[in-house]
Copies of this chain bind each other. A is one copy, B any other.
Amino acid sequence: MRLRSLHLCVITDPELARGRDHVAITEAALSGGADMIQLRDKTGSLRDLLPQARAIQALCRARPALFIVNDRLDLALAAGADGVHVGQDDLPAEAARRLLGPGRILGVSTHSREQAEAARAAGADYIGFGPMFPTGTKETGYTPRGLEGLREARAAVSLPILAIGGITLENVAAVIGAGATAPAVISAIVAAPDIAAATAAFRKCVATARALAKPRPASQGHRGLP
């Protein structure tokens, strides 16, 4: 599973999930085609989260999909996750990189070109970028960055970019077109009545948008022409 080939990261926020827990969200999201699961839980106890994280790790390994833990690097290590995702208020990326070692994935939330460049310099394997659009999810207080902000980040770093924040079936194609590797989705998927169906719909939109956005090999003609 290479980061550059990712289609869709689903973030398992239980507050929006109508009572479904992290494992239930993961099972549905994987069956719908998510290829990265990020466990995010700012309030649960690690005693409760560790068994869930281990179950998610096994589900992702079997698929295969990548399993990333938000913020809690200790939980990521204890569960044998593929990596950790840190925000600008979490463990600094340099420290996380050092603790993770080279074998695990480090993702870093960024909200500007400068933060994207700093994350790359600190050893991030991918960056989150956003919020793209207004969102119902409780967020960091940053104003939406929009497609133009994403294009700036895309021009600044060659890392895979997971765009986040207010991404829907209506705007995801534009987000891919502006340079995102894949979307990271919370509310539009975990709050949906049918998580698997919502995931599958996103996955299909992303695949279509990527096929359109991808430069064709030279032998098949110029970019954008059939």
Contacts and interface: CB of A to CB of B under 8 A. Distances in A.
Contact of A90 (B45, B73, B96): B45
A211 interface: no
Q: How large is the interface on A (under 10, 10 to 19, 20 to 34, 35 or more residues)?
A: 20 to 34
A74 interface: yes
Contacts of A74: 72-74, 77, 91, 96, 99
Nearest to A46: B91
Chain multiplicity (copies): 2
Interface of A is mostly: helix
Contacts of A213: none
Interface in A17-64: 45-48, 50
A78 interface: yes
B99 A50 contact: no
Interface in A59-117: 71-75, 77-78, 88-92, 95-96, 98-99
List the 5 shortest-distance A-B pairs measured between CB atoms, nearest first: A73-B74, A45-B89, A78-B95, A74-B74, A46-B91
26 contacts: A45-B89, A45-B90, A46-B89, A46-B90, A46-B91, A47-B88, A47-B89, A47-B90, A47-B91, A48-B89, A50-B91, A50-B92, A50-B95, A72-B74, A73-B74, A74-B74, A74-B77, A74-B91, A74-B96, A74-B99, A75-B91, A77-B99, A78-B91, A78-B95, A78-B96, A78-B99
Interface of A: 45-48, 50, 71-75, 77-78, 88-92, 95-96, 98-99
